[in-house]
Structure 1
Amino acid sequence: MLDSVRRSGTGLGRFARLPDLDPEVLRDDLSRVSTPTMLVLWEQLTLTEPGPAIGALITHHAPIGTFGLWDYLVTTGENLIETLKRAVAYLECIGDPAGEKLQTIEDGKHFTIRHATGTWVPDVVEAIELFALAMLLTRARAASRRPIFPHGVTFAHRPPHQHRRRQLVEFFGTRNISFDAPSNSITFRDDDVRAPLPKAQPGLEEILMRHADLTLAASKPVLQWRDRFRATLAAALHEDNPTLEHVAQRLAMSPRTLQRRLAEHGTNWREEIEAVRQQRTMDLLRTTDLPLQSIATRVGYSDVRALRRAVHRWEGQPPHAVRQSAKPVH
């Protein structure tokens, strides 16, 4: 996705604030980049290349190996019907199973894969829908080593302009493309998906699936932006400098941008600093014997009275009661 953004001529500077896209994160195969970050990249691409055909254009620059282990799960096996089912089963290797859904259907004559994605900006959804079907087709062609043409393709979104439609016909190799359909799908002929694959290696698929299972079990989510912000705010609190300007500087953005990002997450500076102060205060009350004045100073309150009011607002009881309830009962 980042390579596609680069090719579009867009500078990557505006994406530097996204912790998911840190170079160290992207070099780690076990990192799970968040869906919101991917959507930011998709949105940028749809703004640069208007129209849902952007999905197919990206696929042109994604040869076998681009998607790592998942690509080899798709292209290694006895026939396409087995490898494509495997690709559906291991969607989590490359996508968010909470936002992406794949389903296979067989009727003896055709093999259909349906795809559904989340309810985001329409242009972004259209591009992702097209990308998913285009990706399945390119992998099927790579595995079979021949130009497979689908029996039909359907999209749930509206028809594109005539020029875009011609692009899709050329890419998929069929004029049987429908829009405003009940679902997004790509349908292959049964003969195509049951034909033996030329490079089948018996037993290799079992090794790859075990590797996929181990990889998914060891994968880890990348720190979300709001979590990173809260960690920075907590550090500023420790430094006795919990100001909007200081935290924004630590996050390499302007105070106005920080306020906008917080609004995008349904919160604001006042609520966030209150939440971090609350967590820090409760920790100090429950795990230390520090005087209330020291705690007030550490969490940025002017005096003990302000601390008492805050604790009563959060817990419905005074600080000494919170501290007493945290002591073990003998």
Structure 2
Amino acid sequence: MQTLWVSMPILRNIVLGAARNRDELRQICAQGGITVADLDNPDMKLSLEQNCALMNASLQLSGDPNLGLHIGERTTVSVLGITGYLMESSKDLLTALHHLQQYTASFSRLYRFGIQLTADEAVYLCEPVSVWNDLSPETARQSVDISFAGTLHILRLLTGSQLWPLRVYYRYPRFADTRDHERILKCRPLFNQSCNALIFSRQDLQRRIIGYNQALNEVFINMLQQKLGEESHSFLQQTRTLILELSRLSFPTLEEVAERLHLTPRTLQRKLQEENTSFRVESESIKEELARNLLLSKSLTVGEIADRLGYADQAAFQRAFRQWTGATPKTYRNRQDKSV
């Protein structure tokens, strides 16, 4: 079961926004192991590795250090598929953003979107999965730029009116030149913050959406629920998603995951057994996926990756990785370097 993926329309938007001609389009696609024809397949899912490769190629060929911002300011709801159309038919902006949070899994598992409310403000959060920041911090940052600029553009399209954030937060270090950020976001960003967020006036997000249609809205909700099916609501998928979310700093234990699910460890194991698996099997599956991606990052040593994935020492990680792939972590990393 692939845990980390993004739908083709998301990356199609980036690739087409970066390529200036057919030849560049082919070059970018080749870096991600896809064809130009694949760009028109809305059901295709791309791995985190492909996502980073395509974004890196787009950045290099375009020569645009603010590519994310510039793509974002041209982004429409269509890149989000049915979730975008659900937003377009929602009652107001706050409801639309709640729907985005609720149905992110319909178009990607590389991001976590969220809305937090106070009495006067609404905080819109955009967080790439932590392994993405480890593997390719620049493309992760660019993805936040796309989300921020894209969200503002979409919210304006939905209401037909201008809308600006009160404040903008980035987890990342300050950029050398923030003029484009200030022009597009209409706000001077704050850096090295605890989250990536756009902070709005709560009243601004109560604006009604031009295309509000309750009947159509319900149709899209039913379509999304059917599309996600049992997978998004299954206990197994909930557990895998939680393991991934908790692995931001260190790999979670059975007890930590059970506590977050409000279960005892024994009950968690029993429920997984009912789905013909176990916590160990699912943890190992996610560890393998994370390990393969983390080894692509030259900024992390094998020892650091072993520690990140919860192994007692580097030797234990090497044994596990050899069981998964038939190769040592170092050999695997060298092979990937040669294939680039």
Q: Give TM class, smaller chain.
A: 0.5 to 0.7
1:10 aligns with 2:24: yes
* TM superposition shift of 1:32: 1.6
Instruction: Please say if 1:150 is aligned against 2:183.
Output: no
Say yes or no: does 1:134 pair with 2:149.
yes
What TM-score do the two structures reach when normalised by structure 1? 0.59
State the SS of the aligned residue for 1:65.
Answer: helix
- Relative distance call for 1:192 and 1:143 in structure 2 (3 A) is same
Contact 1:103 1:115 (8 Å CA) reproduced: yes
CA gap 1:68/1:149 in 2 versus in 1, 3 angstroms: same
Of 43, 46, 51, the residue aligned with 2:56 is 43
- The equivalent residue for 1:84 is 97
Q: Quote how far apart the aligned CAs of 1:266 are.
A: 4.4
Of 214, 234, 246, the residue aligned with 1:202 is: 214
Which whole-Å deviations, capped at 9, do the CAs of 1:240-294 have from their partners, x for residues lacking one? Answer: xxxxxxxxxxxxxxxxxxxxxx98954869xxxxxxxxxxxxxxxxxxxxxxxxx
SS of structure 1 residue aligned to 2:214: coil
Deviation at 1:114, TM superposition (A): 1.3
What is the CA–CA distance in structure 1 between the aligned matches of 2:212 and 2:202, rounded to whole Å?
19
User: CA, structure 1 residues 19+268, in 2 after alignment: closer, same or farther (shift >3 Å)?
Assistant: closer
Q: Deviations over 1:214-244 (max 9, x none)?
A: 333499xxxxxxxxxxxxxxxxxxxxxxxxx
Would the aligned equivalents of 1:71 and 1:139 in 2 still touch at CA under 8 Å?
A: no
Which residue does 1:105 correspond to in 2? Answer: 116
> CA 1:214–1:152 in 2, change beyond 3 Å: closer, same or farther?
same
Matched, 1:33 2:46: yes
Aligned 8 A contact 1:52 1:160 in 2: no
Aligned to 2:126: 115
The 3 A distance-change label for structure 1 pair 39 and 214 is: same
Q: What are the residue-to-residue correspondences of 1:1-330 with 2, within 5 Å?
A: 1-7=14-20, 10-13=24-27, 15-16=29-30, 18=32, 20-21=34-35, 23=37, 25-49=38-62, 53-96=66-109, 99-117=110-128, 118-119=132-133, 120-162=135-177, 165-175=178-188, 177-217=189-229, 266=333
TM-score, reference length from structure 2: 0.58
For structure 2, the residue ranges without an aligned partner over 5 or more in a row are 1-13, 232-328
Q: Please, which runs of 5 or more residues in structure 1 have no aligned partner?
A: 220-261, 270-330
Q: Deviations over 1:33-78 (max 9, x none)?
A: 2222111111122334567522111123323424332221222211
Q: Deviations over 1:60-97 (max 9, x none)?
A: 3323424332221222211111110101111122222x
Q: Distance in 1 between matches of 2:19 and 2:332?
A: 27
Contact kept in structure 1, 2:26 and 2:35, CA below 8 Å: no
- Count of matched residue pairs: 221
Secondary structure at the counterpart of residue 33 of structure 1: strand
Q: 1:155 touches 1:184 (CA, 8 Å); kept in 2?
A: yes
CA distance in 1, matches of 2:113, 2:139: 18
Report if the CA contact (8 A) 1:157-1:180 is conserved: yes
Distance 1:263-1:206 versus aligned 2 partners, 3 A rule: farther
Check 1:266–1:213 CA distance in 2 against 1; reply closer, same or farther (3 A cut): farther
User: 1:264 and 1:110, CA in 2 relative to 1: closer, same or farther beyond 3 A?
Assistant: farther
Tell me how far apart the structure 1 counterparts of residues 121 and 228 of structure 2 sit (CA, whole Å).
31
Is the alpha carbon distance of 1:11 and 1:22 closer, same or farther for their aligned partners in structure 2, counting shifts above 3 Å? closer
CA distance in 2, matches of 1:110, 1:149: 13
CA deviations on 1:114-153 (whole Å, 9 max, x unpaired) are 1211222222121112112222222211111111111111
Distance 1:263 1:51, change over 3 A: farther
For 1:101, what is the secondary structure of its paired residue?
Answer: strand
Note if contact 1:52-1:130 (Cα within 8 Å) is conserved in structure 2: no
- Give 1 or 2 for the bigger CA radius of gyration: 1
Alignment root-mean-square deviation, CA: 2.9
**Amino acid corresponding to residue 135 of structure 1 in structure 2:** G
Q: 1:17 and 1:170 mapped to 2: Cα distance? A: 32
Q: 1:4, 1:166 → 2: CA distance?
A: 21
The Cα shift of 1:187 comes to: 1.2
Q: Is the 8 A contact 1:80 1:195 kept in 2?
A: yes
